[in-house]
Amino acid sequence: MTAFTPPFCARVSCIHHEPKNHSPYQAYRPWGFYHTKTFGKVPRYRCNSCGKTFSRQTFSLDYYAKRILSYQDIVQRLSSCESLSAIGRALVSSTDTISNRISRAARQALALSSTFSSSIHPDEDLAADGFESFCHSQYFPNNITLLVGASSQYVYAADHVTLRRKGRMTKVQKKKRAELETRWKARPGGIEHSFRRIADEAIRVYAQGRRSPLTLWTDEHQSYAMALTHSPHHALLIESGFLRHQVVSSRAARTTSNPLFPVNYLDRELRKDLHEHVRETVCFGRNVNRQMERLSVYLLWHNTIKRHRAREGPRKNVEMTGCTTEVDMEELKHIWVWRAWRSLTELSDAMRETWERLRDTPLSRKPDYLPRYALM
């Protein structure tokens, strides 16, 4: 970090805010130093154009942090079914500190996913399905719809919705549900709404990709077909033959030849790798936004760090998407050093909800806190 030069001005409205590779930012001057226990002597700068002052730490992933922890270690542990408490114990930190680092890592994961979505040109079909879990209590089940590459197992998108508890319940449980619903009620038609957003992402993959027509595989859930027929542009793409929606029974054998294998595989992986989704766990998610942050970090690990197959060489899922040369894997080296900026990151609606912590946690009394710099 000694040979640091500011890549751009830290003021979002400044004309020098956007980094330009062909003409690096030079309209700044050194503006002294300050000292911190953790990061030592930190240089400051002042923009000649807008007068904004900022420091090296403004660009650091550890902006405002008081302690250095290894992000790679936390990501690896989180994706290996360690609970927040276990990670905290191992790294001699509080669970709040670990959660803080996971939030930072999640924003990095979303930014990297956004970079990849514009730089990879997939040549594969897609499969989508909902992963069922819960947050806060089992009275608030949720559905996380995943859009996965048929051959790469790369996860292109994930969308979350909290559902109304259904299924067999005792009289006492029904009474409790009715009482809770006077305080918080899930929005009806949640799965259809969520799947429509996933279908939008499938169209984005189609537009970026090299496969035409593109086949989207799902199970026979009625909401999926309804989402596609109720949306004029999806219906038009299907009618014109650019998008094909194929269904498979969810009771079909869960083998590798099943077109839903990619989502079935993800379902199994999430259930065993993320502690909060393990059946009968006591470490379940308490906050929807934090749950989605952890999922974003897990998906970063799944897409870009773990091997596609344990016995088939070192290739990652992102490298299996059909185009490897344009993927800038160099990005990965800097991801745990310099923070991604919201103002410079294009996000889908679902990703924005995760980054900005916009989702509603059942029975939560106030919106989730988000540091102001995370919106810069």
For Zn ion, the binding residues in 235-254 under the rule CB under 5 A are none
Q: Is 376 in the site for Zn ion (CB under 5 A)?
A: no
Q: How many CA atoms lie within 13 Å of 4's alpha carbon, on the beta-carbon side?
A: 19
Q: Which is nearer to Zn ion, 51 or 367 (CB)?
A: 51
Stretch that binds Zn ion, among 42-50, 241-249, 292-300, 354-362 (CB under 5 A): 42-50
Stretch that binds Zn ion, among 15-23, 37-45, 113-121, 310-318 (CB under 5 A): 15-23
Stretch that binds Zn ion, among 39-47, 242-250, 262-270, 324-332 (CB under 5 A): 39-47
Alpha carbon distance 77, 275 (integer Å): 10
Q: Is 45 in the site for Zn ion (CB under 5 A)?
A: no
Q: Which is nearer to Zn ion, 14 or 248 (CB)?
A: 14
Stretch that binds Zn ion, among 47-55, 91-99, 208-216, 308-316 (CB under 5 A): 47-55
Q: Which is nearer to Zn ion, 56 or 101 (CB)?
A: 56
In the complex, least distance from residue 376 CB atom to Zn ion, rounded to whole angstroms: 13
Alpha carbon distance 34, 44 (integer Å): 8
Count of residues in contact with Zn ion, rule CB under 5 A: 8
In the complex, least distance from residue 245 CB atom to Zn ion, rounded to whole angstroms: 48
For residue 213, is the peptide bond before it cis, meaning its omega torsion is within 30 degrees of 0? yes
Among 9, 61, 84, 350, binds Zn ion (CB under 5 A): 9
Q: Which helix (H) or strand (E) holds 318?
A: none
By DSSP bridging, strand 137-149 and strand 155-162 are: antiparallel
The tokens of 12 are what?
Answer: 């979002």
Q: Which is nearer to Zn ion, 47 or 335 (CB)?
A: 47
Alpha carbon distance 216, 374 (integer Å): 34
Q: Is 86 in the site for Zn ion (CB under 5 A)?
A: no
- The sign one gets for the Cα dihedral 364, 366, 367, 369 is negative
In the complex, least distance from residue 16 CB atom to Zn ion, rounded to whole angstroms: 5
Q: Which is nearer to Zn ion, 50 or 283 (CB)?
A: 50
The answer to whether the beta carbons of residues 246 and 216 sit under 8 Å apart is: yes
In the complex, least distance from residue 53 CB atom to Zn ion, rounded to whole angstroms: 10
List the one residue out of 211, 238, 4 whose CA is nearest residue 121. Answer: 211
In the complex, least distance from residue 57 CB atom to Zn ion, rounded to whole angstroms: 17
In the chain the beta strands, taken as DSSP E runs, fall at 28-36, 40-47, 53-55, 126-135, 137-149, 155-162, 214-218, 243-247
Q: Is 50 in the site for Zn ion (CB under 5 A)?
A: yes
In the complex, least distance from residue 54 CB atom to Zn ion, rounded to whole angstroms: 9
Among 6, 11, 84, 114, binds Zn ion (CB under 5 A): 11
Alpha carbon distance 50, 16 (integer Å): 9
Among 7, 49, 95, 247, binds Zn ion (CB under 5 A): 49
Taking CA atoms, 331 is separated from 115, 172, 281, 327, in Å, by: 9, 53, 35, 9
Q: Which is nearer to Zn ion, 5 or 246 (CB)?
A: 5
Q: Which is nearer to Zn ion, 52 or 56 (CB)?
A: 52
Among 25, 42, 45, 47, binds Zn ion (CB under 5 A): 47
In the complex, least distance from residue 341 CB atom to Zn ion, rounded to whole angstroms: 14
List the one residue out of 51, 80, 34 whose CA is nearest residue 306. Answer: 80
| DSSP structural state of residue 341 | P
List the one residue out of 275, 336, 345, 349 whose CA is nearest residue 305. Answer: 336
Q: Is 14 in the site for Zn ion (CB under 5 A)?
A: yes
Q: Would you tell me which residues interact with Zn ion (CB under 5 A)? A: 9, 11, 14, 16, 47, 49-50, 52
